[in-house]
Structure 1
């Protein structure tokens, strides 16, 4: 369904221009240093105002004004506007009132908006991102960017045809601890990497959820969008204006991650972070990674599956536990496991090399190879390799240095037109491993995938799970 022109008159255009001028006129001190000129402050809009919005609006409003918010739930929008105002007020600045929409296409048709921040459920990311690029917007999308492998192919095609800058919210790439771990692996400081283990935690299960009406003010049809039609279900009545992970299990809002119809469970939740760093460190970010085989040695699903599809539509259905082995052609192995008794470390990533091992997560970076960095630091080139060939000094100038905010990197790239550190191409390749792992778990058997063709090896049944047709009325733009 292609967006329809919504700024039909000169009056509409002048109204939008006036709104843009209002947000651009906020005192320069409200924005981060280095972004004081009005033409350096991109005007952003937020599409999706759920569980990630609170952090994103706080980060993005450091670098420029926000003009509009969009959500299919009016209660979510009410809460989002309050958060928007609180960010400005926390900096001692009078807050403009953002325009609010249920239909994201109204944002894409506004000439005053430079970039969109997509924080919808996973199954909406690609459709909105493609249409935003076609509308001339730059795009920051929450991870995982795609619901399936086929969507990643569509996304890369659309980005290649556009002049847009696009980044993915895999913010661990902008963390110095994870950068150092990846550089240690790439430089073989502890010898060749033989195995990497990603501990992700398991996912929840639920009792049967009764069919019920969606919350008042929520457009359930638009929430589902490209996903297959399903009745709304909830363990109990949802409170208005919140819907965080602490609220009752349901289809929709914070718990969408635990339904294969909308997401991929822990494999595309934490896996989109940890598997990303593991493969970044291994240098396996394109088709040259070669074929890989995934063996689901242990899979715990809360419902039964037939031909890769859950047979019970009333319960959360993504894997609650797993022990997966990924073997690459070069002999390197990647294990992806929940936090079971098999692990002797926290949620995070363990690199096992010929001469030792080291561990990284959001709280620590440890191991003998890490301790040895004090006497023999990594060379600048080790980090330059991560930054697509930039030297350490160049990386710092382009916002890719230690501790630099992930959003700042995107904003820098909007100005420079360079590729962000969390680029779409490598994210697609890394996330494909997670998508393929989910297919192996859904089928309950070993599979082999060829990144060159982006197909399984002699496995038509598995190939059938690589993509899906969007629901009528929510087709993807081409």
Structure 2
């Protein structure tokens, strides 16, 4: 480099005084915090992924711990309508980082409007997923959102539109797709190892019911109106929002105003695996048939265009997901993988077996990798929306007792007449203002 390069004096003007100044500076140790440079596995600030957390119940307590363990991540804010929960989450973050920098908010919009937060982790009750998703998309923030993705079919379609319009990286929290046993099971089925797939059985809980809980006194520190959101006004009950930090999954999921019961809770896992194994991501069943007694909450049948049947029930006493084909059976559940005959899932895939599914061993890291590489992870919005729609279709069959004809390509009902009024759910009362169905 020339002596006249920017930042250097020419050799003709470099004095003895300049030399002494440089010598003195060299004798002073240069101390730069590790957090500035990165090192020991910690990313420099320019390379960090900054997160905000929305909803600090049991599930996001789990996610908080996982993301605090990823060095590239920095958590800047937490949010919950319960004062104790959000302050406890802030404490955990501050203790991890050794400072008091984590902000704690009551309203999710305060998290989303922060320009220094790149992505959000949403784990609110199901009726509170769509508004934060759409608002985060509009703010160009990447999203990890818990399953089941939405409360209604209309919301599911809206989430796809929002993610695609604003180009965010989206991971649905259906983490079974990042577990080896489910991938191996689905690869075996997709490569024809059980022959023609005739039926799939998925054992999950039944539909939700209308909330009938009595009023309870409410301690200060909970924004009950904001917890309710779009749902009808009703008195507080601790079953819906247990106060403070708790180590269980609250039963709001049992009530139609807030969730779809076991059909959406576990259905978003096991129906999701059925869709994966059938190669139906981006599509779905075309006919949904309720059992003779819809009130039983079990036995709804889904028919696909190719004749395959998905049944909401156990198979031969086994839970999880059972793929039944002309040449064998594959059974998979968490930590369980079996087939009849044995070699179906025990033999590695051969060269002529061309279907190789997305391989992820860590659902959280997979999302972070997607943010860095600007690519969609293993469970993008189309997957989460499609799988929860299967759940919602089953619930509608149970609730109405009607056989439904569904057009998965155009997201609408063909039969019965008037069924498209159910796309945003069957409601006892309209959405509460200002939480109407958002626009993209």
**Does residue 325 of structure 1 match 2:286?**
no
Contact 1:194 1:353 in 2 (8 A): yes
8 Å contact 1:296–1:445 — kept in the other structure? no
Choose 364-373 or 272-281, whichever is displaced more.
Answer: 364-373
67, 79, 82: which is aligned to 2:76?
67
1:355 to 323, 327, 333: 327
SS of the counterpart of 1:335? strand
Structure 1 portions without partners, runs of 5+: 1-21, 247-253, 302-320, 388-399
Q: Secondary structure at the match of 1:440?
A: helix
Tell me how far apart the structure 2 counterparts of residues 214 and 23 of structure 1 sit (CA, whole Å). Answer: 46
CA distance, structure 2, for counterparts of residue 416 and residue 51 of structure 1: 30
Contact kept in structure 1, 2:207 and 2:260, CA below 8 Å: no
1:169 equivalent in structure 2: 173
Q: Go from structure 1 to structure 2 and tell me whether the alpha carbon gap of 1:372 and 1:108 turns closer, same or farther (over 3 Å shift).
A: closer
Shift of 1:40: 3.1
Contact 2:321–2:332 under 8 Å retained in 1: yes
Structure showing greater radius of gyration is 2
Tell me the CA shift for residue 367 of structure 1. 1.3
* Deviation of 1:223 (Å): 0.6
Q: Which residue of structure 1 lines up, in the alignment, with residue 260 of structure 2?
A: 264
Aligned with residue 244 of structure 2, among 227, 241, 245: 241
- Classify the secondary structure of the residue corresponding to 1:296: coil
Give the secondary-structure state (helix, strand or coil) at the position aligned to 1:331: coil
State the shift of 1:329 in Å. Answer: 2.5
Q: List aligned pairs for 1:68-147, cutoff 5 A.
A: 68-85=77-94, 88=96, 94=98, 96-147=100-151
Normalised by the length of structure 2, the TM-score is 0.83
Aligned residue in 2 for 1:292? 287
Q: Distance in 1 between matches of 2:153 and 2:369?
A: 29
Give secondary structure in 1 for the equivalent of 2:120.
strand
Q: 1:128 to 1:23 in 2, by over 3 A?
A: farther
Q: Shift of the alpha carbon at 1:204?
A: 9.0
Alignment correspondent of 2:411: 454
2:153 equivalent in structure 1? 149
Deviation at 1:363, TM superposition (A): 1.6
Q: Is the 8 A contact 2:412 2:420 kept in 1?
A: yes
Q: Number of residue pairs matched?
A: 401
3-state SS of paired residue (2:391): helix
Alignment partner, residue 340 of structure 2? 368
1:471 equivalent in structure 2: 432
Cα distance change, pair 140–379 in 1 and its aligned pair in 2 (3 A): farther
Is the Cα contact below 8 Å between 1:210 and 1:235 reproduced in 2? no
Q: Is the 8 A contact 1:194 1:352 kept in 2?
A: yes
Secondary structure of 2:110's aligned partner: helix
SS in 2 for 1:76: helix
Task: Give deviations 1:9-39, integer Å, cap 9, x for gaps.
Answer: xxxxxxxxxxxxx9965974465xxxx3433
Q: 1:70 to 1:456 in 2, by over 3 A?
A: same
Q: CA deviation at 1:442?
A: 0.8
Query: Contact 2:36–2:44 at 8 Å: present in 1 too?
Result: no
| Residue 168 of structure 2 corresponds to residue 196 of structure 1 | no
How far is 1:135 from its partner? 0.8
Q: Under a length normalisation based on structure 1, what TM-score does the superposition of the two structures give?
A: 0.77
Partner Cα distance (1:23, 1:71) in 2 = 32
CA separation in 2, counterparts of 1:206 and 1:131? 28
**How far off is 1:57 after superposition?**
0.6
**Residues 323, 54 of structure 1: alpha-carbon distance in 2 compared, 3 angstrom cutoff:** same
Q: Deviations over 1:96-152 (max 9, x none)?
A: 541100011111111111110001111111110110111121111011111111001
Once residues 355 and 30 of structure 1 are traced to their aligned partners in structure 2, the CA distance between those partners, rounded to angstroms, is 49
Deviations 1:378-410 (A, max 9, x none): 5596553x33xxxxxxxxxxxx34xx2101110
In 2, Cα distance between the equivalents of 1:466 and 1:140? 24
Alpha-carbon RMSD? 2.8
- 1:39 and 2:46 matched: yes
| Unaligned ranges ≥5, structure 2 | 1-32
Is 1:437 paired with 2:432?
Answer: no
> What is the CA-CA distance between 1:276 and the residue it aligns to?
0.4
Alignment partners' CA distance in 2, 1:373 and 1:347: 18
Alpha-carbon deviations, 1:239-278, whole Å to 9, x = none? 74234547xxxxxxx2210111111101110000000010
Match of 1:280 among 272, 276, 283: 276
Contact 2:288 2:393 in 1 (8 A): no
Structure 2 Cα separation of the partners of residues 375 and 207 of structure 1: 49
Distance 1:99 1:222, change over 3 A: same
